[in-house]
């Protein structure tokens, strides 16, 4: 492991999220701002976390007509986000619009462009959930189909469950980002996730980054939880 692969999902009220960020400073590089936090605090929370020294993954799963997604991706890029997400189900034109507008916007303000990640199948969705919306393929088959479309659209990587990480690594190559939610340490509860794995198994399978939320954010001592997860990855006793 060359660097800390953990992305902590700050699905918390704004004041709690910023307090937790302070507690994790120097422990992790990446923090994730999803819908819960972004809709409560607005774009300013991304700026605040950047000022605290973190790289920020803005996970809003953009999904709309290409024009709307293009504008949203540009706005997120200007905030200084390091990663942003679009739904692969939105199709190649939509994803390509996000990639192009995010790079253009970042260049205009002199920032590095964020990595654009395509969300494939949510980790809370299994075969029954796909069938409910008319998808007869298995989760693995659907992830592969969407990842191929995303690759052709020029994205930098995908978001998938750990179960598909190895296939995504083979399909997308060594340089692609493979970001896996649904990661639970051996000592944590699984919650509402279905297709899950331990941190070590996800990394061995091909993940580049691990999104971990409640095992850290709900811990009595979040910094100790991070240390415990890293120890689990490295196979040592904290």
Helices (H), 134-198: 139-153, 165-172
Q: Which is catalytic among the residues 32, 50, 52, 61?
A: 61
Active site residue 61: yes
Q: How far apart are CA 220 and CA 215, in angstroms?
A: 10
Long-range CB pairs of 88-92 (<8 Å, 24+ gap) are 88/118, 88/119, 88/120, 88/146, 88/147, 88/149, 88/150, 88/158, 89/63, 89/146, 90/62, 90/63, 90/64, 91/149, 92/149, 92/150, 92/152, 92/153
Write the CB contacts of 42 (distance below 8 Å, at least 6 apart in sequence): none
HEC per residue, 26-95: CCECEEEEEHHHHHHHCCHHHHHHHHCCCEEEEEEEECCCHHHHHHHHHHHHHCCCCEEEEEHHHCHHHH
Residue 12 tokens, joined = 């918390």
Q: How far apart are CA 165 and CA 155, in angstroms?
A: 16
Query: What positions carry a catalytic annotation?
Result: 61
């Amino acid at each position: 492991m060359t660097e800390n692969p953990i992305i902590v999902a700050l699905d918390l009220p704004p004041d709690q999220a910023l307090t937790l960020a302070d507690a994790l400073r120097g422990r992790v590089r990446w923090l994730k701002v999803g819908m819960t936090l972004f809709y409560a605090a607005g774009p300013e929370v991304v700026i605040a976390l950047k000022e605290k020294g973190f790289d920020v993954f803005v996970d809003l799963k953009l999904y709309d007509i290409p024009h709307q997604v293009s504008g949203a991706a540009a706005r997120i890029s200007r905030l200084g986000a390091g990663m942003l997400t679009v739904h692969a189900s939105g199709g190649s034109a939509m994803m390509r619009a996000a990639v192009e507008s995010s790079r253009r916007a970042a260049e205009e303000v002199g920032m590095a462009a964020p990595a654009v990640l395509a969300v494939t199948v949510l980790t809370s969705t299994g075969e029954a959930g796909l069938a409910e919306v008319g998808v007869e393929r298995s989760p693995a088959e659907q992830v592969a189909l969407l990842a191929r479309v995303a690759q052709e659209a020029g994205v930098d990587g995908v978001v998938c469950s750990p179960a598909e990480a190895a296939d995504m690594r083979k399909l997308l190559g060594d340089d692609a980002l493979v970001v896996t939610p649904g990661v639970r340490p051996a000592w944590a509860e699984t919650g509402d996730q279905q297709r899950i794995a331990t941190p070590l198994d996800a990394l061995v399978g091909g993940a580049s980054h691990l999104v971990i939320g409640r095992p850290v954010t709900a811990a009595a001592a979040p910094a100790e939880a991070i240390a415990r997860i890293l120890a689990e990855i490295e196979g040592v006793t904290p």
